[in-house]
Amino acid sequence: MIFVSRQEHFNAAHKLYNTAWTPEKNEEVFGPCANTNWHGHNFDLIVTVKGEPDPDTGFVVDLKKLSQLIRKEVIEKVDHKNLNVDVPFMAGKMASTENLAIEIWKILEQKLGSVSQTARLHCIKLYETPRNFVEYYG
Amino acid sequence: MIFVSRQEHFNAAHKLYNTAWTPEKNEEVFGPCANTNWHGHNFDLIVTVKGEPDPDTGFVVDLKKLSQLIRKEVIEKVDHKNLNVDVPFMAGKMASTENLAIEIWKILEQKLGSVSQTARLHCIKLYETPRNFVEYYG
Amino acid sequence: MIFVSRQEHFNAAHKLYNTAWTPEKNEEVFGPCANTNWHGHNFDLIVTVKGEPDPDTGFVVDLKKLSQLIRKEVIEKVDHKNLNVDVPFMAGKMASTENLAIEIWKILEQKLGSVSQTARLHCIKLYETPRNFVEYYG
Amino acid sequence: MIFVSRQEHFNAAHKLYNTAWTPEKNEEVFGPCANTNWHGHNFDLIVTVKGEPDPDTGFVVDLKKLSQLIRKEVIEKVDHKNLNVDVPFMAGKMASTENLAIEIWKILEQKLGSVSQTARLHCIKLYETPRNFVEYYG
Amino acid sequence: MIFVSRQEHFNAAHKLYNTAWTPEKNEEVFGPCANTNWHGHNFDLIVTVKGEPDPDTGFVVDLKKLSQLIRKEVIEKVDHKNLNVDVPFMAGKMASTENLAIEIWKILEQKLGSVSQTARLHCIKLYETPRNFVEYYG
Amino acid sequence: MIFVSRQEHFNAAHKLYNTAWTPEKNEEVFGPCANTNWHGHNFDLIVTVKGEPDPDTGFVVDLKKLSQLIRKEVIEKVDHKNLNVDVPFMAGKMASTENLAIEIWKILEQKLGSVSQTARLHCIKLYETPRNFVEYYG
């Protein structure tokens, strides 16, 4: 078993805001992250899959195909978007890095079969900033 | 003469949108950067000043004081903000990295005297992403 | 279960020196790391906690609070200090990155309850240089 | 148990080319990575070992000795080389990052005893580019 | 005047080898860089242009267009190639980073007019490794 | 004219302390940087030279030789040392990054002739931390 990772990136706006709360409570809990008019980040996304290398190619998975899959299924839906408003798969969820990583896992787990019959999704690692990041293993 | 630099960072939303143009023309010129509901970035800001080291301290400028100045005069006004909506010094200007760097120069050039009588502002370097950045020398 | 990480940094002096040994043996075992008058590093510290996201916030833990805890309980005690001389929690221990990571774990495991009732400490990752680092999972 | 890592680097040429296939099939499967006249990378190699810190040194392993071992047993054999042509331990194998990481594991697992009687090899992490990397745990 | 930069990257094989010299002299002068079967690098290329921001766009140059130009005119010709063998514009020249930067300058200076009538090329910065790089200003 | 750079690194202890002042004044001016028992950093040093590429080699300067010169004349004198106590060329000077860069310039300007008859020293860039750095051009 070997683990293979591909890093992609996207830029997005968001805010942390619970619509069931008053503005005051949002401000108290989330501070500047609740700014009414949004803020944003350069997100870095690392997708890790696991499997055995194919003897004919030496690959667990073709990273060009994995990159294309991530771009088509994830990056195109979040890049230069507002995570609270523009992204159907985040509708009704707090736009936290935790929730975003979990939803990206769900999407890629379903679609990974289109680039490899044998590799399995292992980890979604998502950097909101170089100092704040999350990891999800399903 | 020696050049001394301090790096700070902030997270902000923006869009590239000329209100004198139709939405179609904005979309044509700016593409996804014109997204109605904004997108955002982790900006990195490097401020460079120049001067002679003071023999008593070895410093051109006390970098703790320079950092405090940048945070008070720039970072607090742009961090976790929307550059098009929330930032008075960007009002009426396109929210490009070029214009943002020029405005940050104007602010810091006026205020640098409060941290050093002898150092002069040399350069504002502003990263919008790790791959896109601008430099302004006044 | 999702894993959330926060990176902080500090600058410190230290030496690797076993006081039960002769200077010659220290020099033989530790080489330049045993330099009598110390050397130092910019340390990077990554603290990882794990838990379920709170549905109201989307957070496993509020990273602002986790950052404040790390700064108060760890960074203030080691930043701009001498790890062999100035840091009570390292007294009587070799000032290696391994031992420093273990002691930071002990401190944060005890205090994490003050920022979250449900999150648990998962890993202390400590970079002494960009090329040398340790990880401790308790 | 604590995990200690050392990063080294090397520069090498390679191509992805299965000699049992036609040139057309290689081009179809590997695209530009099959370029007849090779391409190359700056590889970053992170070697992680695990064990208990020695009370006399504070070390799981002396990182200077681990670095020397990696350089002697791995880096000297691949740095400024062609992975398909010049490296005996890759003979007959596809020159993928996956296979390279597995072979490096085999070499270092055999030799680690020469720098530590107690530490065990934990992970070989190999970056082909900053965006493509693999991890192997034996 | 403001300076705007875009970073791209490519992977290539090369060797430093003067065909007018004996193999022994090449080995003596270039050491492992003269390895017969090539070695390679992940190159990072930073292209800087200068000009005044357009009041309608806030741009000195549209970085998407600059990126497309660099990819079409430079990256496609060197990425996953052998700099000594596969790249017409390097024919007959030593494949040093210095010479590569000078040739990239010549190409982009000629073509920059297609993305901006007013911006001028300022600098080609080329990293062969994170520790070795060159800058050329024409 | 082309500019060629080489990055090296060293780890050192220091403090900012003016022995002509009282401890109180040092504490007031330098804050934690004046800590009696020192602190330290991982310094990154970038040395830039300028000249014309030699047609026979494609080199302005052989970077292996420049690296060896920097290591012999600078790194060996400061690495794993205390900049205030162990480094003769810093005796009697405040151990600031500014002063350290100026002294490194003086050393390398004198010695550069031993690796190249034609290249001239252009810049010493010295990072004390990733966020604080100086540049000196003689």
Q: Which domains does chain C have, with CATH numbers?
A: 2-136 (3.30.479.10)
Q: How far is Cα F29 from Cα F24, in angstroms, rounded to an integer?
A: 9
Annotated catalytic residues of B are 33, 80, 128
- The verdict on a CB contact (< 8 Å) between B5 and F135 is yes
Q: What 8-state DSSP symbol labels residue A73?
A: I
Q: Which pLDDT belongs to residue D42?
A: 98
Which residue in chain F is spatially nearest to E90 when comparing CA positions?
Answer: F58
Question: Which tokens sit at A24?
Answer: 């005051």
- Check if the beta carbon of residue D80 is closer than 8 Å to that of residue D11: yes
Q: Which pLDDT belongs to residue F104?
A: 98
Q: How far is B126 from chain F (nearest CA, A)?
A: 14
Q: How far is C8 from chain D (nearest CA, A)?
A: 19
Partner C contacted by D118 (CB < 8 A): no
Chain E residues whose beta carbon lies within 8 Å of the beta carbon of residue B130: 7
Q: Which pLDDT belongs to residue E74?
A: 98
Q: How far is Cα F83 from Cα F138, in angstroms, rounded to an integer?
A: 21
Q: Which pLDDT belongs to residue F35?
A: 98
Res. C61 pLDDT band, cuts 50 70 90 = very high
3-state secondary structure C2-19: EEEEEEEEEEEEECCCCC
Partner F contacted by B6 (CB < 8 A): yes
Residue C76 appears among annotated catalytic residues: no
Chain B residues whose beta carbon lies within 8 Å of the beta carbon of residue A13: 13, 37-40, 82
Length of chain B: 138
- The verdict on a CB contact (< 8 Å) between C5 and A132 is yes
Is chain D in touch with chain A: ≥3 Cβ pairs within 8 A?
A: yes
Q: How far is D60 from chain E (nearest CA, A)?
A: 29
- Beta-bridge mates of residue D41: D12
Which residue in chain F is spatially nearest to C34 when comparing CA positions?
Answer: F80
Q: How far is Cα C93 from Cα C75, in angstroms, rounded to an integer?
A: 18
Give the angle B39-B43-B46 at the CA atoms, nearest 5°: 160
Q: Which residue has the tokens 């100035």?
A: C86
- The verdict on a CB contact (< 8 Å) between F4 and E134 is yes
Beta-sheet pairing, A120-129 with B2-14: unpaired
Neighbours of C67 (CB within 10 A): 18
Q: What percent helix, strand, coil does chain C show, rounded to 5?
A: 35, 30, 35
Residues of chain B where predicted confidence (pLDDT) is lower than 70: none
Helix ranges restricted to H, chain A? 23-30, 63-70, 76-78, 97-111
Res. A51 pLDDT band, cuts 50 70 90 = very high
Partner D contacted by A125 (CB < 8 A): no
Contacts of E67 (CB under 8 A, 6+ apart): E6, E8
Partner A contacted by C1 (CB < 8 A): yes
Partner A contacted by B11 (CB < 8 A): yes
Partner D contacted by A45 (CB < 8 A): no
Helix ranges restricted to H, C33-96? 63-70, 76-78
| Residue contacts between C and D (CB atoms, under 8 Å) | 56
- The verdict on a CB contact (< 8 Å) between A131 and C8 is yes
Chain E residues whose beta carbon lies within 8 Å of the beta carbon of residue B84: none
Is chain F in touch with chain E: ≥3 Cβ pairs within 8 A?
A: yes
Question: Tens of pLDDT along chain F (138 residues)?
Answer: 999 999 999 999 999 999 999 999 999 999 999 999 999 999 999 999 999 999 999 999 999 999 999 999 999 999 999 999 999 999 999 999 999 999 999 999 999 999 999 999 999 999 999 999 999 999
Q: How far is D77 from chain A (nearest CA, A)?
A: 20
Q: Which pLDDT belongs to residue F70?
A: 98
Res. A127 pLDDT band, cuts 50 70 90 = very high
Chain D residues whose beta carbon lies within 8 Å of the beta carbon of residue A56: 18, 20-21, 94
Name chain A's partners: 3 or more CB pairs within 8 A. B, C, D
- The verdict on a CB contact (< 8 Å) between F80 and C12 is no
Give the whole-number percent of chain B exceeding pLDDT 70: 100
Partner C contacted by F129 (CB < 8 A): yes
Q: Residue D135, SS3?
A: strand
Q: How far is C92 from chain A (nearest CA, A)?
A: 32
- The verdict on a CB contact (< 8 Å) between B53 and F130 is no
Q: Which pLDDT belongs to residue A109?
A: 98
- The verdict on a CB contact (< 8 Å) between D131 and A56 is no
Partner C contacted by D61 (CB < 8 A): no
Question: Which tokens sit at F14?
Answer: 């220091």
| CA distances from residue C25 to B43, C17, C19, D59 in whole angstroms, order as listed | 49, 9, 10, 16
- Check if the beta carbon of residue B57 is closer than 8 Å to that of residue F99: no
In chain A, count of helices (H) and strands (E)? 4, 5
Q: Which pLDDT belongs to residue F54?
A: 97
Neighbours of D92 (CB within 10 A): 5
Q: How far is A2 from chain D (nearest CA, A)?
A: 5
Summarised one tens digit per residue, pLDDT across range A77-94 is 999 999 999 999 999 999
Q: Give the side-chain half-sphere CA count within 13 A for F137.
A: 7
Helices A63-70, A97-111: axis angle to 10 degrees equals 120
Partner C contacted by A94 (CB < 8 A): yes
Question: Which tokens sit at B91?
Answer: 């009002």
Q: Which pLDDT belongs to residue A101?
A: 98
Q: How far is F102 from chain B (nearest CA, A)?
A: 8
- The verdict on a CB contact (< 8 Å) between C2 and A101 is yes
Chain A residues whose beta carbon lies within 8 Å of the beta carbon of residue C62: 29
Which residue in chain E is spatially nearest to B105 when comparing CA positions?
Answer: E2
Q: Which pLDDT belongs to residue D55?
A: 94
Chain D residues whose beta carbon lies within 8 Å of the beta carbon of residue A60: 98, 134
Q: Which pLDDT belongs to residue E59?
A: 97
Question: Which tokens sit at B122?
Answer: 């040399």
Annotated catalytic residues of A are 33, 80, 128
Question: Tens of pLDDT along chain E (138 residues)?
Answer: 999 999 999 999 999 999 999 999 999 999 999 999 999 999 999 999 999 999 999 999 999 999 999 999 999 999 999 999 999 999 999 999 999 999 999 999 999 999 999 999 999 999 999 999 999 999
Residues of chain D where predicted confidence (pLDDT) is lower than 50: none
